[in-house]
Amino acid sequence: MHHFLDIHKTDAQALRQIIDKAREMKGARAGRTRGAPDDDLPLAGRMVALIFEKPSTRTRVSFDVGVRQMGGQTMTLSGAEMQLGHGETIADTARVLSRYVDLVMIRTFDESVLTEMAEYADVPVINGLTDRTHPCQIMADVMTYEEHRGPIAGRKVVWSGDGNNVCSSFLHAAAQFGFDFTFTGPAQLDPEAEFVGLARDAGCKVTIERDPFKAVEGADLVVTDTWVSMHDSQSTKERRHNMLRGYQVNESLMAHAKPDALFMHCLPAHREDEATSAVMDGPHSVIWDEAENRLHAQKAIMRWCLGV
């Protein structure tokens, strides 16, 4: 049994096996209808609990569809239904769920909820997102880059904007997959120093560059994410827009990257804020492949967790 909690907590060889399996499974589905089952049905007879304390579109649909394609069944639970940590401890919830299901995916706020669930569960637990990291997304991003441009090792990845949870998982991936990482954004929104240090200790070149045009010079991949959360107040949204306006990914910025550089955004996007429609729908963009690959990467993660 394996938990999938964060990229830096998973062996680099296992991460490579997951990416390879994801590409294999995606290729095997070529030409099939979306609802058609996989040939081998590795999750037949398995029940997967999908827990959402945070709302979701891509995570919910991709995990649900992935389980069904592999022959399993899902049970989707909201935070309101479960009230994790209120009335019943997370540890007790984990023990109970382990008697009913074969695998737990949880999308939550506080990282401690995820780690406590994993500590006390007798079944694998997958991090569907926390306020601190988003490893499933970055596995899909690595897969997407390599589909289009080959191995990501040794490449230059540039993150423009807010050093948020997705940015954190990119730093973890830099350490495990061996690519260079540049962050460009305001100092108030720098990525966590711990994660910057982790990547540097692994031998990765990690650069903090305030000038976005200088940052993207020689970039193989430019990535951004939304500037605001759905939970932010109007005053917070305005303040963050003022801080981040100079880090918008637009055609002018992409022109300073390599001619064949790719653009990614994990979605949902606020068009004309963190990225322009001209970039999102332009020749550098692979955002729709990136979104699809959440399905394939997560299927491979589930198989690795269950050893099937």
131 is catalytic: no
> Among the options 167, 225, 284, 305, which is catalytic?
225
Assess contact for 140 and 301: CB atoms under 8 A. no
At position 255, the amino acid (one-letter code) is A
Assess contact for 275 and 225: CB atoms under 8 A. no
> Among the options 107, 132, 155, 240, which is catalytic?
107
At position 144, the amino acid (one-letter code) is T
210: left (phi > 0), else alpha (psi -120 to 50), else beta?
alpha
229/239 Cα distance (integer angstroms): 13
At position 263, the amino acid (one-letter code) is F
- In degrees and rounded to multiples of 5, residue 4 shows phi and psi of -120, 90
122 is catalytic: no
134 is catalytic: yes
> Among the options 8, 172, 265, 294, which is catalytic?
294
> Among the options 266, 284, 296, 305, which is catalytic?
266
294/215 Cα distance (integer angstroms): 27
294 is catalytic: yes
Q: Which helix (H) or strand (E) holds 267?
A: none
> Among the options 3, 58, 132, 134, which is catalytic?
134
305 is catalytic: no
> Among the options 69, 137, 176, 248, which is catalytic?
137
29 is catalytic: no
Which amino acids are annotated catalytic?
A: 107, 134, 137, 225, 266, 294
